[in-house]
Amino acid sequence: MKPTLLITGGTGLVGSALRDLNLGDYECVFLSSKDCDLTSFTETRNLFIKVKPDFVIHLAACVGGLFKNMTQKVKMLEDNLAINTNVLKCSKLLGVKRLVACLSTCIFPNKVVYPITADDLHNGPPHESNSGYAYAKRILEVQCRAYNETHGTNFVCVVPTNMYGPHDNFHPEDSHVIPALIRACHEAKLKKEPFVVRGTGRPLRQFMYSGDFARFLVKTLESSGNETKIIAPPEEVSICEVAHYIKDALGYDPPITFDDSFSDGQFRKTVIGEEFDFTFLEDGIIKTVNWYLQNLGQLRC
């Protein structure tokens, strides 16, 4: 009998990338928010009792882009604290053999010497713009260590850099930077208007294709050790460069206008990650744009 792998957040960006891997060695259960309210302990426990997972990849979270992080801090904090607590507690109660939990590079201190390593995680407050979400994710790392030390569980955290790819959320306000820019550029093309990018375009980021992270999650699930891992391509690119890649992929050559009335957020978050075979950013953006155009009628937005 195949072991059961429960993937929370199974219909989101990374969950969909995991589905595309065709994980034939596992009986996979891809959990969506429609299947279970993970902020409820009762619903989470009942789900775990029903599924009886041997392994868990925990991706579910209340997420959003810079605007949502800045304007809904209480929701970002409380919902994520509840989700993480319930998933870890039920994983322990049901004897899950190994759990891999997804964090975010936004959890690292705002004032830090670059490049960032996993040892820097708790060495100062995160950037104020996403403090609610960031602190909830920090606590998830603390919870995993506490469970391992107290109950002998096998929980490990991975910290991905900024992700993008097919099945992303393309909401104009709540999405991350690449899907938001893809939508903005496509709509500008349809209206034959300038391509407006919020902020100055100068902040630097390390962007990772969702399929790469999915492969890394499976590798981590099937390895040993509980040390927190960072995964990020070594190259940093500016938001301005990303905008140019996107308009090229869409075949639109408008002037780019930068609206500096919007905050840039943190200027950079440079991290040292695990070595891995990463997709080139330009290639990943082309794949994402093509998927976006083929799925305009059924986007998460």
For residues 72 and 129, the answer to whether their CB atoms sit within 8 Å is: no
| Weakest mean pLDDT among 6-10, 109-113, 253-257 | 109-113
CA dihedral for 107, 270, 274, 64, sign (positive or negative): positive
The domains of the chain, with CATH numbers, are: 4-163+206-231 (3.40.50.720), 166-204+235-268+280-298 (3.90.25.10)
Q: Kindly state the average pLDDT of the residues 112-141.
A: 88
Q: Kindly state the average pLDDT of the residues 104-123.
A: 86
pLDDT above 80 for 208? yes
Q: Which residue in 62, 71, 108 sits closest to 262, CA to CA?
A: 71
223: confidence class by pLDDT, cuts 50, 70, 90 = very high
pLDDT above 80 for 266? no
pLDDT at residue 126, rounded to an integer:
86
pLDDT above 70 for 167? yes
Active-site residue, 26 included: no
Q: Which of 26, 133, 135, 292 is catalytic?
A: 133
Tens of pLDDT along 81-94? 999 999 999 999 99
* C-alpha–C-alpha distance, residues 27 and 108, integer Å: 35
Q: Kindly state the average pLDDT of the residues 265-290.
A: 92
pLDDT above 90 for 174? no
Q: Name the average pLDDT for the chain.
A: 92
Tens of pLDDT along 40-76? 999 999 999 999 999 999 999 877 666 676 777 898 8
pLDDT at residue 20, rounded to an integer:
93
Query: pTM (2 decimals)?
Result: 0.91
Half-sphere exposure for 123 (CA within 13 Å, toward CB): 10
282: confidence class by pLDDT, cuts 50, 70, 90 = very high
Three-state DSSP string of 143-189: HHHHHHHHHCCCEEEEEECEEECCCCECCCCCCCHHHHHHHHHHHHH
Q: Kindly state the average pLDDT of the residues 246-252.
A: 97
